């Protein structure tokens, strides 16, 4: 039985990453709306700000335990070559730091632990995020290069056209997924840099809002059932 749109939506939202991307969309739409109405409709802007904050806190709560994902990835599938394994250790280590300290950032922002710790936890979390995502981007670029070489070989191969067509389609699908991953990681990297080293470009509401939506929608594409 083929899945219709409703079935796919149910499967998508049943995944933790799916729900995270949905709430992330709420968060950054609210951020842009708050910026849009701040000068003309302060009351509406305040409502959108509350929506943004609530969405951000909800996402942090929902990601509890996510720091174990990187550890499990290294334990189960660290990579096929020494170079990939080395890059995977750096990438997943950074991501583990990001999610681990993000738990404490959430606790400080909701008042469970000292609120003064929020700034320090946010900086460490953002630093781990930017460090890890930099190496995830490098890994995806390496794999895309390998896939492009494989495509070139297949096109000059003497294999039956049906078999070649299926392999080419599979490789192209993997390349698209990795490009979506790179887009999401670059967008999240910009958001992290805004916390690590505040500057007019990264910290502008438009930059943060668009980056957040690019990351969320790339995640939608990658997690949506095929």
> Residues 44-91: pLDDT tens digits?
999 999 999 999 999 999 888 888 888 888 888 888 899 999 999 999
Write down the residue that tokens 């709420």 correspond to. 26
Instruction: Tell me the residue length of the chain.
Output: 226
Rounded CA-CA distance 63/3 in Å is: 28
Average pLDDT, integer, range 192-205 = 94
**One-character DSSP codes across 155-195:** HT--S-HHHHHHHHHHHHHHHHHHHHHHHHHHHHHHHHHHH
Tell whether the model's pLDDT for residue 136 goes beyond 90. Answer: yes
Rounded CA-CA distance 27/213 in Å is: 9
Tell whether the model's pLDDT for residue 195 goes beyond 80. Answer: yes
- Structural tokens at position 129: 């995020």
Tell whether the model's pLDDT for residue 37 goes beyond 80. Answer: yes
pTM, 2 dp: 0.87
How many CA within 13 A on the CB side of residue 83?
Answer: 5
Local confidence band at 1 (pLDDT 50, 70, 90 cut-offs): low
> What local confidence, expressed as pLDDT, does residue 47 receive?
97
Q: Are 135 and 91 contacting, i.e. CB atoms less than 8 angstroms apart?
A: yes
């Amino acid at each position: 039985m083929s899945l219709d749109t409703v079935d796919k939506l149910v499967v998508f939202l049943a995944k933790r990453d799916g729900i995270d991307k949905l709430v992330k969309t709420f968060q950054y739409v609210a951020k842009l709306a708050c910026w849009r109405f701040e000068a003309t409709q302060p009351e509406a802007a305040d409502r959108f700000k509350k929506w943004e904050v609530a969405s951000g806190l909800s996402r942090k709560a929902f990601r509890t335990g996510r720091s174990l994902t990187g550890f499990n990835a290294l334990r189960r599938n660290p990579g096929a070559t020494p170079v990939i394994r080395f890059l995977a250790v750096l990438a997943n280590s950074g991501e583990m730091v990001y999610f681990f300290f993000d738990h404490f950032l959430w606790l400080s922002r909701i008042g469970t632990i000292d609120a003064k710790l929020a700034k320090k936890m946010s900086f460490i979390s953002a630093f781990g995020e930017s460090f890890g995502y930099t190496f995830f981007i490098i890994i995806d670029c390496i794999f895309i290069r390998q896939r492009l070489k494989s495509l070139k070989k297949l096109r000059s191969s003497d294999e039956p056209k049906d078999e070649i067509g299926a392999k080419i389609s599979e490789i192209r699908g993997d390349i698209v997924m990795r490009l979506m991953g790179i887009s999401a990681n670059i967008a999240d990297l910009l958001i992290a840099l805004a916390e690590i080293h505040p500057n007019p470009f990264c910290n502008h509401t438009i930059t943060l809002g668009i980056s957040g939506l690019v990351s969320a929608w790339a995640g939608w594409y990658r997690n949506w059932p095929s």
